[in-house]
């Protein structure tokens, strides 16, 4: 039995990071994610880790990448406008293949929007926020316990695939408190980056001849190599207008898309015989689960598909679902974003119905139940 606590989602995220071996936090205060930084500011000095409040989110993201390159597991947490600011350096970490974890506690609106209200309208930004083609792993926990375990998983995936991992949850889940159990060390697996075993003179930081994820040397460990945000060769040095750019960018995408079996995670609830499915994540997933229970009590065969990995998108699962249900309902705290992915994978095989809400309150089970009755 681990430690039982009543924790906020944001606090559980910080606990999960520490469990995964995070010793570096770089951030900038922003509602509704600030509790992650506050928690790390208390805890990291106690365990000899580094906590930095930087001058802005751009610098915070930069510091996190620097910390990771110097050998630390590194975390940053932000929301809304801060997530926009981090995009430039997130792209840098994707191209240079430096592991790190970025938490986005989603709030409402474009611009300053609704800082204290929940949102799910950054979900396409999680995928396409930084410029260029790039690999993205994004996890979407919905319960406080799940935020803990998914944060551990985020670090593991990041280290395993040498890529930044985003955790996106909404203000409600970030701020609510639930009972969680923090497992004893060793109960959950903790993955560390694979380091090179060759002599430094032979080290090629981006050598893809033995697999899509090349071993990563930390700075100051005798492997003196070059890291650049320019497209680069296997040795890490810039290349210009070379076929290598094409194949290397394909490899970066393949690292993630080619390992979907390992990365994609989801919960299926009452889906086996469902005639109407709900596709929902985060707080909307919680509402949907309550709605499914209510529908079942009325004899309506409803079920829930709740992704815990939203990127890469669970394409095969949604495609399969679309073949056996009459309709998929997509409730989201936006004016319609993830519904287009569901629609893309369904290829017109079933009805697709959105429920959108951006007024600062969650979509209620009653709203979803009404829609279920409408389409059944």
Partner 1 sequence: MAFNYDQYIRGGKLPHIWCPGCTYGIVFKSLLRVVDTLKLNRDDIALVSGIGCASRLPGYVDFNTLHTTHGRALGFATGIKMAKPDKHVLVVSGDGDATAIGGNHFIHACRRNIDITVLVFNNYIYGMTGGQYSPTTPLGHMATTMPYGNIDPSFNIPELAKGAGASFVARGTAYHAAGLDRLIVEAIQHKGLSVVEIINACPTTHGRRNKFKSPTDQLLWMKDTFLPAVAFEKLPPEKTAGKLPMGVLYKKEGLPEYCETYYGLVERLKKQKEGRAQER
Partner 2 sequence: MSGRYEIRFSGSGGQGLILAGVIFAEAATIFDKKTAVQSQSYGPEARGGASKSEVIISDTAIDFPKATEIDLMLALTPEACMKYYKDIKPNGILLVDEDFVKETPEGTFKVVRLPIIRTASEEIGKAFVANIVAIGAIAALTGQVTIESVEKAVLSRVPKGTEELNKKALMAGYALAKNTEKEKAR
Residues contributing to the site for partner 1 (CB under 8 A): 23-24, 26, 45-46, 48, 50-52, 54-56, 58-72, 74, 88-89, 92, 219-222, 224-230, 237-238
The CB-of-178 to partner 2 minimum distance in angstroms stands at: 5
Select the span of 46-54, 230-238, 259-267, 289-297 touching partner 2 (CB under 8 A): 289-297
Q: What interhelical angle do 9-19 and 34-46 show, nearest 10?
A: 40
Note whether 30 and 80 are within 8 A (CB): yes
Select the span of 146-154, 250-258, 325-333, 354-362 touching partner 2 (CB under 8 A): 354-362
Phi-psi region of 305 (alpha: psi -120 to 50; beta: other; left: phi over 0): beta
Note whether 360 and 117 are within 8 A (CB): yes
Selected from 36, 52, 283, 321, the binder of partner 2 by CB under 8 A is 283
Does residue number 232 form part of the binding site for partner 2 (CB under 8 A)?
no
Q: Enumerate residues 133-172 that contact partner 2 by CB under 8 A.
A: 172
Selected from 187, 198, 366, 370, the binder of partner 2 by CB under 8 A is 366
Q: Is 320 helix (H, G, I), strand (E, B) or coil?
A: helix
Look up tokens 């709030």; give the residue.
107
Q: Which does 38 bind (CB under 5 to 8 A by kind): partner 1, partner 2, none?
A: none
Look up tokens 């932000």; give the residue.
78
What is the rounded CA–CA span in Å between residue 275 and residue 373? 11
The CB-of-69 to partner 1 minimum distance in angstroms stands at: 7
The CB-of-200 to partner 1 minimum distance in angstroms stands at: 9
Does residue number 4 form part of the binding site for partner 2 (CB under 8 A)?
yes
Look up tokens 């090349």; give the residue.
214
Radius of gyration of the chain (CA): 21
DSSP string, 99-128: -EEEEEEEEESSTT-EEEEE--TTHHHHHH
Q: Which does 53 bind (CB under 5 to 8 A by kind): partner 2, partner 1, none?
A: none
Pair type for strands 302-307 and 266-269: antiparallel
Shorter beta-carbon distance to partner 1: residue 61 or 213: 61
Does residue number 91 form part of the binding site for partner 2 (CB under 8 A)?
no
Q: Is 202 helix (H, G, I), strand (E, B) or coil?
A: helix
How far is C-alpha 226 from the chain's CA centre?
A: 28
Shorter beta-carbon distance to partner 2: residue 120 or 156: 120
The CB-of-122 to partner 1 minimum distance in angstroms stands at: 21
Does residue number 268 form part of the binding site for partner 2 (CB under 8 A)?
no
Note whether 269 and 306 are within 8 A (CB): yes
Q: Which does 172 bind (CB under 5 to 8 A by kind): partner 1, partner 2, none?
A: partner 2
Sequence-distant (≥ 6) Cβ neighbours of residue 348 within 8 angstroms: none
In this structure, what token pair is assigned to residue 230? 């320019």
The CB-of-21 to partner 1 minimum distance in angstroms stands at: 13
Does residue number 274 form part of the binding site for partner 2 (CB under 8 A)?
no
Note whether 266 and 307 are within 8 A (CB): yes
Q: Choose among 348, 334, 303, 371: nearest CA to 80.
A: 334
Does residue number 178 form part of the binding site for partner 2 (CB under 8 A)?
yes
Selected from 6, 187, 230, 250, the binder of partner 2 by CB under 8 A is 6
Shorter beta-carbon distance to partner 2: residue 314 or 362: 362
Does residue number 108 form part of the binding site for partner 2 (CB under 8 A)?
no
Rule CB under 8 A: which residues touch partner 2?
4-6, 115-117, 172-173, 175-179, 283, 286-287, 289-290, 293-294, 360-362, 364-366
């Amino acid at each position: 039995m681990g430690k039982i606590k009543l924790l906020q989602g944001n606090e559980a995220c910080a606990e999960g990071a520490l469990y995964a071996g995070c010793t570096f936090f770089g951030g900038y205060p922003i509602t509704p994610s600030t509790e992650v930084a506050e928690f790390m500011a208390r805890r990291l000095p106690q365990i000899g880790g580094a906590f930095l409040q930087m001058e802005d989110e751009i610098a915070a993201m930069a510091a996190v990448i620097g910390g990771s390159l110097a050998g630390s597991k590194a975390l940053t947490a932000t929301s809304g406008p801060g997530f926009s600011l981090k995009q430039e350096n997130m792209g840098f970490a994707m191209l240079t293949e430096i592991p790190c974890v970025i938490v986005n506690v989603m709030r409402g609106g474009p611009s300053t929007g609704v800082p204290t209200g929940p949102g799910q309208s950054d979900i396409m930004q999680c995928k396409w926020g930084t410029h260029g083609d790039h690999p993205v792993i994004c996890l979407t926990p919905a319960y406080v316990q799940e935020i803990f375990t998914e944060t551990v998983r985020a670090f593991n995936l990041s280290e395993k695939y040498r890529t930044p991992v985003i955790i996106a949850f909404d203000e409600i889940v970030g701020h609510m408190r639930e009972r969680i159990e923090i497992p004893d060390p060793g109960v959950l697996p903790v993955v560390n980056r694979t380091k090179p075993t060759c002599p430094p003179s032979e080290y090629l930081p981006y050598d893809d001849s033995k697999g899509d994820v090349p071993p990563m040397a930390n700075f100051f460990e005798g492997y003196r190599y070059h890291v650049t945000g320019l497209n680069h060769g296997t040795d890490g040095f810039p290349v210009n207008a070379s076929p290598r750019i094409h194949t290397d960018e394909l490899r970066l995408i393949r690292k993630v898309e080619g390992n979907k079996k390992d990365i994609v995670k989801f919960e299926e609830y009452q889906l086996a015989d469902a005639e109407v499915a709900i596709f929902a994540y985060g707080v909307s997933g919680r509402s949907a689960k309550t709605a499914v229970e209510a529908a079942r009590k009325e004899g309506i065969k409803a079920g829930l598909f709740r992704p815990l990995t939203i990127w890469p998108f669970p394409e095969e699962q949604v495609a399969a679902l679309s073949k056996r249900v009459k309709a998929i309902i997509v409730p989201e705290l936006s004016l319609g974003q993830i519904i287009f992915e569901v629609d893309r994978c369904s290829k017109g095989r079933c009805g697709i119905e959105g429920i959108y809400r951006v007024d600062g309150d969650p979509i209620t089970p009653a709203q979803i139940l009404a829609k279920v009755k409408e389409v059944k």
